[in-house]
Structure 1
């Protein structure tokens, strides 16, 4: 890959490299019009680390963290002199049978902790601080399900980069020097038809996912006429280089309402990597041979953000409004 020869995640980056947590809240809000609303958002961005410390000190082993992502339109409204090179609104993807819709969102707060009460308390204070400056768009509380499985019964996030690979895959390098240490973030909320999935044989489930269900062994489908989710989500460029992303997906649900889902959140150094992944999943390779997982999992949201470095957050907090 071009850019940094990453040895570690930069100290200035937000806590993107934090280990997978037991609980999370994914909060997407819109920022209301007016100078007062923007001023409140700036104050919040400037004090987000202090807020994490204020809540998190009660139990440091809870490992509370919060990553802030900023949408393209809000970035423009905040009047920053420069903008991440690839940042733009989520582009809807429509295949022959399934669609990845685009939905609004100015700010993403990815709140993580080992205890759900810490996520709740942080969100409560966060929203109280923002007050009428924002409007709620989407709020999902996720939980770690057994040994990092999704509600379909398969281990999720197996292909995540580790160690120095996190920086190579998830963080912007010297190719966009003003935004080194930042990350593009795409979120989607998928709802599963567990009844239909439960009626599907384990053998077919494994072919659809590309892994064995019990022991999580990768299956080879190079010669298969229909590619698995695993293969379609693997992105290789024209030079044969594989481009990973960092996923921190979480299951969520309300059994009493028949709601069972996976909240997809992907951090990437290059936005085009996730865009190509979604094209392969929803349109198919070749066209029409879409990801069969979509027959059981429906995307209801799709939003793109940029999670800047801590120093860039401070710059945005102190900038003048437009």
Structure 2
């Protein structure tokens, strides 16, 4: 890795390094085009830390937290011309068989806790404060499924960086000094065809995923005729350096509606890492040999955000409020 030499997670960063939680809410909204809507949204963002304390104080051991991500369009409204270097809208991907859509989103609220009721209460009060200034684009309640498995039955997030590798992989360094400590965030809401997946023999499921199902052992598929999901999602640059991302995926579902899915959320120091990963999955390596997991798991959303450090978020909001108040 280049840039900052990370010896710890910066205390000014948002809670990106928090341990995987038992419950989460993923809330994506757009902010109305009127000045009044932007003013109200800024006020809600300004009060976010206090809201976390108000709700989280009921059970400090439940570790309530909320990460805020800001989309390209809203960032341009808040501070035109001064954006994180790689921030841009999610680029849709047209593969030979499957596509990755791009969907709207100005703000992402990634709410996490060991208790789903705290996530619920925080989201309820947050939306009350935002009021009619926003439109909810997507709202998903995730949960921990057994031993961190997805609804396909495999352990998810095994390859996440740990220790000093976590901030080096997930947080911007000195290569973009004004936004160091922040993180690019990509979200996709995947829906699974569990009936079709259940009809696939376990050995073939394992070949598709790249890991054994029961004990989560990585399968070497270097000589296999078709690369696995694990291999396609592994990014190595021209110098042989592997680039990790931090995944905080969560299963979700409504059995009565036959809805079963995985909410993919990836935090990364470099947006190009996730973009390359998705290109490999949807286009294939070689082209045409796409990720076979996509035959059973389809994305319905795709949005990119930047989660700034707390001081950067505070300064961004306060500057916007001053400008709005003066106009």
Identify the TM-score tier after normalising by the shorter chain.
over 0.9
TM-score, normalised via structure 1 length: 0.99
Q: Does 1:261 align with 2:261?
A: yes
2:133 maps to 1:141? no
Q: Offset of 1:81 from its aligned partner?
A: 5.7
How many equivalent pairs are there? 322
Shift of 1:152: 0.2
Does 1:242 find its partner at 2:242? yes
Q: Work out whether residues 62 and 115 of structure 1, in 8 Å CA contact, stay in contact via their aligned partners in 2.
A: yes
- CA-to-aligned-CA distance 1:112-166 (integer Å, 9 cap, x gap): 0000000000000000000011011000000000000000000000000011111
2:100 maps to what in 1?
A: 100
Match of 2:78 in 1: 78
Q: 2:204 matched to 1:225?
A: no
Following the alignment from structure 2 to structure 1, what is the Cα–Cα distance between the partners of residues 81 and 88? 16
Q: After superposition, what is the alpha-carbon deviation per residue over 1:7-39, rounded to whole angstroms, capped at 9, x for unaligned?
A: 111000000000000000000000001111111
Cα separation, 1, equivalents of 2:124 and 2:188: 23
| CA distance in structure 1 between the partners assigned to 2:25 and 2:73 by the alignment | 23
In structure 1, how many angstroms separate the alpha carbons of the residues matched to 2:44 and 2:270?
27
Structure 2 portions without partners, runs of 5+: none
1:280 aligns with 2:273: no
Corresponding residue of 2:119: 119
Alignment pair present for 1:59 and 2:59: yes
Distance 2:80 2:312 in 1: 10
Q: For each residue in 1:227-258, what CA deviation from the matched residue of structure 2 results, as whole angstroms up to 9, or x when unmatched?
A: 00000000000110000000000000000110
Corresponding position of 1:207: 207
After superposition, residues 184-203 of structure 1 pair within 5 angstroms as: 184-203=184-203
User: Can you list the C-alpha shifts for 1:40-91, whole angstroms capped at 9, x where unaligned?
Assistant: 1212222211110010000001100000000000000112562100000000
CA–CA distance in 2 between the matches of 1:169 and 1:79? 26
SS in 2 for 1:12: coil
Distance, in Å, in 2 between the alignment partners of 1:308 and 1:80 is: 16
Counterpart of 1:273 in 2: which secondary structure? helix
What is the aligned-residue RMSD (CA, Å)?
A: 0.8
CA deviations on 1:149-199 (whole Å, 9 max, x unpaired) are 000000000000011111100000000000010000000000000000000
Cα distance in 2 between the residues matched to 1:37 and 1:86: 27
Corresponding residue SS for 1:152: coil
Q: Distance in 1 between matches of 2:36 and 2:302?
A: 28
- SS of match in other structure, 1:27: strand
> CA separation in 2, counterparts of 1:81 and 1:97?
37
Aligned to 1:44: 44
Aligned partners of 2:4 and 2:86: how far apart in 1?
A: 18
Task: Find the counterpart in structure 1 of residue 31 from structure 2.
Answer: 31
Instruction: Provide closer, same or farther for how the CA distance between residues 2 and 139 of structure 1 changes in structure 2, counting only shifts above 3 A.
Output: same
CA distance in 1, matches of 2:242, 2:46: 36
Runs of 4 or more, structure 1, over 4 Å off, are: none
1:204-228 Cα distance to aligned partner (Å, 9 max, x none): 0000000000000000000001000
Q: How many Å separate the matches in 2 of 1:28 and 1:114?
A: 21
